Amino acid sequence: MGIILIRTVILYLCIIAALRLMGKRQMGELQPSELVVTLIIAEVAAIPMQSNDIPLIYGVISIAALVSMEVLLSSLSLKLPWLGTLLSGRPSVVVEDGRIDQREMARQRFTVSDLCEELRLQKVNRLADVSYAVLETNGQLSVFLKPQATPATRRDVGAKAEDLGVVRLLVSDGCVSARVCRQLGLTEADVRQMVEAKGMTVQDTFYCTVDGNGNILEIIGKEHPR
């Protein structure tokens, strides 16, 4: 009994350390690759807990290997956007300007009932009030209301409401999104010109978003080490 208790405590501490290394995410916010690793870790840890015939080190090594693989892939995804897309997919716009994109919903196997449920959870009862809704890679639905359906704040008082449409990530860590360029009818030369008009270069841009008309909303440069 004492040996089982000690083995369980050791594996418990290993799992806690593994999840801490994977980052601070709730279960509902895990990306597909992270969720898979979390589930496998649970299975790998359960086997040495239940059987004294299996060396404890086997479980520890397996957990360490899984976490190392996840950390490595996450690090590579920062430098290789296509790898992140391959592992986690892309966010999908399922509602734009109050209209449902039925083809995209079918591709994501996201039913009308699922959509209505998510809208109710966010206290939205009229589809016409939705500016756009994005199905994120973790399965959650992000809903953005039209200005006239959004409760006014002090900042909004006296200001003219403007619907920016779908806000898209145009440049991420120096990489221009070819997909966003196609959606907005832009070329990479257009993007370079837009960024340079803000006093920056694409290579030095860490984060740049544009509205539905292709206008830059926010742009942040890279922080170079001193």
Question: Does residue 160 sit within a domain?
Answer: no
28 and 76 co-located in one domain: yes
- pLDDT digit string, tens, across residues 162-175: 556 677 888 888 88
What pLDDT score was predicted for residue 196? 93
| Segments of the chain scoring below 70 in pLDDT | 1-5, 7-8, 11-12, 16, 19-32, 149-165, 224-226
The structure tokens listed for 44 are 């790998």
Q: Give the pairing of strands 205-210 and 216-221.
A: antiparallel
Question: Does residue 73 sit within a domain?
Answer: yes
- ∠ CA 183-219-225, nearest 5°, is 125
What pLDDT score was predicted for residue 162? 52
How far apart are alpha carbons 13 and 143 in whole angstroms?
38
32 and 76 co-located in one domain: yes
Give the CATH number of the domain where residue 173 resides: 3.30.240.20
176 and 138 co-located in one domain: no
Question: Does residue 135 sit within a domain?
Answer: yes
Give me the domain span that covers residue 30: 2-86
How far apart are alpha carbons 219 and 174 in whole angstroms?
11
134 and 177 co-located in one domain: no
User: Into how many domains does the chain fold?
Assistant: 3
Are the C-beta atoms of 208 and 169 separated by less than 8 Å?
yes
- pLDDT digit string, tens, across residues 113-151: 788 788 888 888 777 888 889 988 777 888 988 877 666
Confirm whether pTM is higher than 0.85. no
What is the 3-state composition of the chain as percent helix, strand, coil, each rounded to the nearest 5?
50, 15, 35
What pLDDT score was predicted for residue 28? 53
